[in-house]
């Protein structure tokens, strides 16, 4: 894998409520969870994020969306769905989040 590498990610919503797929570049040592927790605590999550990469925007059930992201070697990225469920909590707090690390490895 050569970096920077650009990916077009197709996102299919097979669920029963709207979802999104949003990506940020994380600052070193930061996790997607810590960004969401800071936001929920009323703190400015921008202090944990290097840059916003892109989002599919809200995708309705049975529909699909796409987002293009460019990853750089040695950097970490977080993804999440920030759309709120009926309980008012962003889906990320119920597990719709994760991380990607971009690394070049020789095998």
**Which residues contact Cu ion (rule: CB under 5 A)?**
19, 81, 83, 91, 96
CA neighbor of 32 nearest in space, from 80, 68, 102, 82: 80
Block residue for tokens 């979802």: 19
Q: How far apart are the first and last CA of the chain?
A: 12
- Least separation, in Å, of the C-beta of 77 and Cu ion? 18
- The smaller minimum CB distance to Cu ion, of residues 32 and 96, is found at 96
- The smaller minimum CB distance to Cu ion, of residues 37 and 50, is found at 37
- Least separation, in Å, of the C-beta of 84 and Cu ion? 9
Centre a 10 Å sphere on the Cβ of residue 28 and count the other Cβ atoms it contains. Answer: 8
- The smaller minimum CB distance to Cu ion, of residues 38 and 83, is found at 83
């Amino acid at each position: 894998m050569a970096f920077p590498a650009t990916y077009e990610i197709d996102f299919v919503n097979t669920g029963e409520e709207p979802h999104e797929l949003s990506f940020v570049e994380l600052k070193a040592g930061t996790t997607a969870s810590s960004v969401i927790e800071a936001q929920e605590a009323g703190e400015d999550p921008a202090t944990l994020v290097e840059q916003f990469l892109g989002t599919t925007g809200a995708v309705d059930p049975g529909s699909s969306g796409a987002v293009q992201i460019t990853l750089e070697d040695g950097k970490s990225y977080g993804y999440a769905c920030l759309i709120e469920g009926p309980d008012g909590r962003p889906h990320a707090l119920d597990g719709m989040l994760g991380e990607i690390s971009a690394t070049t490895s020789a095998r």
